[in-house]
Amino acid sequence: MQTIEEVLIRMDQIVDECRNSESRMGYFAILYRQVTRRVRDGILAGEFEDNPRMEVLDVLFAKRFIDAYELWIKGQKPTESWRLAFEASKTSGHLVLQHLFLGINAHINLDLGIAASETMEGKDLNGIKGDFDKINSVLAELVDGVKSNISKVSPVFGLLIPLAKGRDEMLLNFSIQLARDGAWKYAGEYHADPDKAFQIQDRDKNISALAKKLINPGKFLGFLIKIVGFAEWKSVSQTMDQLDQVANKTLQGF
């Protein structure tokens, strides 16, 4: 894949595959497709500091997810961060938000820094900082919109979460801001280190630890998750459609 349009074609295929197989990985795929569409529209409108470069970044960034997905589908092993997200998608015991955050965790905390560095190979990484922040702003806006309208896919979510009394931090307040800042710091480390394989392995180890906390947030919050989960849509395809509507509405006003 060399263009954002090629990425969108593959993303459409992945969304259809997930919908047809009732795979919960479709939740993240739906969200990420909307992000990619928004970036495409921004490029066409000339919104970024360097629009051709943003397309390169977007393609490299998207390929990290697409390649991981294709490895998993073939029974091969992607990075541990993605493997945990994919494996979690096999069960119905996790909330929609958990699945979304598991995908975002792997994609921003690991993949984004790598993609930024590869985009600026042989150049000063700081040159892409503005557009790096812009793509994160799109994703943050989308996640905030989904969280604000989560009742469409999880009717009792907002009613029970106050009972968590702050213990919902790892699940509900997953911070795109913190993830972005961490991703930028990692991009610098990855960019400066000639041993790229070590950088990926070491970072993946830390980010997969965060994934495990998202999967198992503790006994009390786990109990609330079970209660909330009973009221969520049981049809993966219906949930995907609801998420697509929420995400599309959110980005129309961004």
Structure tokens at 49: 């500091």
Task: Report the alpha-carbon distance of residue 113 to residue 193 in Å, rounded.
Answer: 13
Q: Is the dihedral of CA 181, 63, 143, 47 positive or negative?
A: positive
In one letter, which amino acid is 211?
A
Task: Report the alpha-carbon distance of residue 129 to residue 22 in Å, rounded.
Answer: 38
Band of residue 173 on the pLDDT scale cut at 50, 70, 90:
very low
Q: Is the dihedral of CA 64, 182, 33, 1 positive or negative?
A: negative
Return the minimum-mean-pLDDT range out of 21-30, 165-174, 179-188. 165-174
CB 203 within 8 A of CB 186: yes
Residue 200 has pLDDT above 80, yes or no: yes
- Separation of CA 201 from chain center: 19
Q: Is the dihedral of CA 107, 124, 206, 75 positive or negative?
A: positive
Average pLDDT over residues 81-106: 90
- pTM beyond 0.85: the answer is yes
Residues 6+ apart with CB under 8 A from 131: 48, 49, 50, 53, 54, 57
Q: Scanning the structure block, which residue is given the tokens 């900082």?
A: 129
Cα–Cα distances (Å) from 33 to 71, 77, 160, 191, in that order, read 19, 23, 30, 27
Dmax (CA) of the chain: 51
Please tell me the total count of domains within the chain: 1
Task: Report the alpha-carbon distance of residue 61 to residue 148 in Å, rounded.
Answer: 26
Amino acid 168: pLDDT: 43
CB 153 within 8 A of CB 242: yes
Q: Which domain holds residue 109?
A: 4-252
User: What are the tens digits of pLDDT across the range 6-43?
Assistant: 999 999 999 999 999 999 999 999 999 998 999 999 99
Between vectors from CA 200 to CA 198 and to CA 206, what angle results, nearest 5°? 105
User: What are the tens digits of pLDDT across the range 204-248?
Assistant: 999 999 899 888 776 655 556 665 555 555 688 888 888 888 878
Q: Scanning the structure block, which residue is given the tokens 């009973």?
A: 230
CB 117 within 8 A of CB 190: yes
Q: Scanning the structure block, which residue is given the tokens 């409108």?
A: 45
Radius of gyration of the chain (CA): 17
User: What are the tens digits of pLDDT across the range 241-254?
Assistant: 888 888 787 776 55
